[in-house]
Amino acid sequence: MDRDINLDRIDLEPPPPEAEPERQFYFMEQCRRWVKRRSEELGRPLFACTVTFGCQMNARDSEKLLGILREIGYEETSDEHADLVLYNTCTVRENANKRVYGRLGYLNTIKKKNPDMIIALCGCMMQETEVVEKIRKSYRFVDLIFGTHNIFKLAELLYRRFTEGRMVTDIWNSADAIVEDLPVERKYPFKSGVNIMFGCDNFCSYCIVPYVRGRERSRRPEDILAEIRRLAADGVVEVMLLGQNVNSYGKNLPEPATFSQLLRRVNEIEGIRRIRFMTSHPKDLSDELIEAMKDCGKVCRHLHLPVQSGSSRILKEMNRRYTKEQYLELVDRLRAAIPDISLTTDIIVGFPGETEEDFLETMDVVERVRYDSAFTFIYSKRTGTPAARMENQVPEDVVKDRFDRLLKRIQEISAEVCGRDLHTVQEVLAEEPDDHMDGYMTGRLGNNTIVHFPGDASLTGRIVNVYLEESRGFYYMGRMVPEEKT
Ligand code: SAH
Ligand code: SF4
Ligand code: F3S
């Protein structure tokens, strides 16, 4: 947990405070008493299961939600036969949506056997009016619905559900303040995401994120640095700075700051050994940031730089605000400054109006940049976005064919590129015991490539030197060597 809270000291006699986060501590204590009573009646602890869909932003939100649930007295489980099941949803593509509806049907069958079970939904999907209407109408067994702007209110909403006994819905259209200092339950003891900003103002024409996550808001540098210092004191060695477009960090702060300034300050925090960040929008990636990456020894030599398409015409339609040439030129500048940088990307196939020629431009970018890896997505029509109203949608079979060709090429290149550190000694963060091989650990290089090497769980969270003996396409097999590089 990031902060020590003593709920025992909270006085429940007066009405709840107005100010945050004190108001939420009050409701956490109310819920805690409720959970305790219920658990005494049942003669066992109450269990909560949180399922996260979507991106790193949602994963971090889930850690905050779990922090609150833990504080209230729930025990965590991955089994959906729990007393409380919370889905933190994603709506970036239609598939993400469908998965949630599918699983809700399954939850209903569980709830029929345990009518006291609480089903809660939050996250990006809940920011869409049609979704909430559909759930209220056709999924009446859901108990609690909230969105992306008010996750900090989980305790208050849950308490309302406990006392009112019927479906509670609370969706905000925007967030006016960022509530700091709530409890967090981290998934990994040694690494953590850190939100540096929320929302997005870019309005890429295919993307629903700006509508469900709201306008761009940056946290104050002091709050971010204080959080990272606390994490470091708690054993965290790697932080991932999170935002939809970290390169525009700080623009709207009362005292404007830039992302590169922030990076330099994080680099100074004792105990932090690795710094990553996500996501960088190519249009805002400054020379100042390239310099900062070059100067800061803790910043990993890895950049996720979504290109989306290689066709300047499609990029314009996507409202990405760079051309193919500008993107390639940026890659050249990055590689000139940091020769060993590994690049990864996101690509959308089948954006409305994409011709074979446009697609070949994308293939050309892939050939030229030679990404370490790439996430490839089939364009998905999102209601309310400008691209959804475009008429010339590409037929499914054409998209599928392009997607397969792209994926094949990306995988071939990736297998060639990823082996470039073979037969060298590299620093590896040991993350967890290997799933498949007893006596082995799985870790990551600074550039994010996975390495398996003999070792045991006591190494978890430590940065060790590993000789990379064998490259197997997307990962290495290695062995630990003593401290000095050989
Ligand atoms: N803010 C990040 C990306 C957030 S969404 C950025 O701008 O890079 C993650 C990825 O999902 C995007 O990079 C994009 O490739 C993909 N994506 C977003 N909307 C999509 C849609 N409607 N259809 C298919 N893929 C989409
Ligand atoms: Fe979506 Fe574009 Fe914002 Fe990324 S930058 S979240 S793709 S609108
Ligand atoms: Fe999905 Fe929301 Fe992230 S829509 S990709 S979880 S910001």
pLDDT at position 2 over 50: no
Q: Which ligand is nearest to the CA of 384?
A: 1
DSSP label of 299: B
Residue 317: which region, alpha, beta or left (left: phi > 0; alpha: psi -120 to 50)? Answer: alpha
DSSP category for residue 1:
-
CB of 209 within 6 A of ligand 3: the answer is yes
289-348 pLDDT tens trace? 999 999 999 999 999 999 999 999 999 999 999 999 999 999 999 999 999 999 999 999
The per-residue pLDDT for 418 is 86
Is there an atom of ligand 3 within 6 Å of 142 CB? no
Cα separation of 365 and 307, whole Å?
Answer: 9
Angle formed by the axes of helices 287-295 and 259-267, nearest 10°: 10
Interval 170-181 mean pLDDT: 87
Distance 423 CA to ligand 1 centre (A): 36
**Ligand 3 centroid from CA 340, angstroms:** 30
Tell me how many degrees the CA angle 466-460-294 measures, rounded to the nearest 5.
55
DSSP sequence for 389-402: G-S-PPPHHHHHHH
436 has a pLDDT exceeding 50: yes
The residue-averaged pLDDT of 253-269 equals: 96
Instruction: Tell me, in angstroms, the distance from the centre of ligand 3 to residue 472's CA.
Output: 32
Closest-lying ligand 3 atom to the alpha carbon of residue 213: 7
Q: Are 252 and 286 in contact (CB under 8 A)?
A: no
pLDDT for residue 208: 97
How far CA 452 is from CA of 95, 216, 445, in Å, comes to 32, 39, 11
Residue nearest to atom 5 of ligand 2 (CA): 202
Answer yes or no: pTM beyond 0.75: yes
From the CA of 52, how far away is ligand 1's center (Å)? 17
Q: In this model, does residue 409 exceed pLDDT 50? A: yes
Q: What's the gap in Å between 427 CA and the centre of ligand 1?
A: 31
pLDDT in tens, 160-171: 999 998 999 999
The pLDDT confidence band at residue 485, using thresholds 50, 70 and 90, is very low
Instruction: State the Cα–Cα distance between residues 316 and 306, nearest whole angstrom.
Output: 15
d(CA 57, CA 91): 13
Report the candidate in 129, 120, 309 with the shortest Cα–Cα distance to residue 211: 129
CA distance 486 to 476: 18
pLDDT at residue 57, rounded to an integer: 94
**Closest listed residue to residue 441, CA positions, set 477, 449, 433:** 433
Indicate whether 4 pLDDT > 70.
no
Task: Share the mean pLDDT of the chain.
Answer: 95
Specify the 3-state DSSP secondary structure of 458.
Answer: helix
Residue 287's Cβ-side half-sphere holds a number of Cα atoms within 13 Å equal to 3
Whose alpha carbon is nearest atom 14 of ligand 1?
A: 346
Cβ–ligand 3 distance for 126 under 6 Å, the answer: no
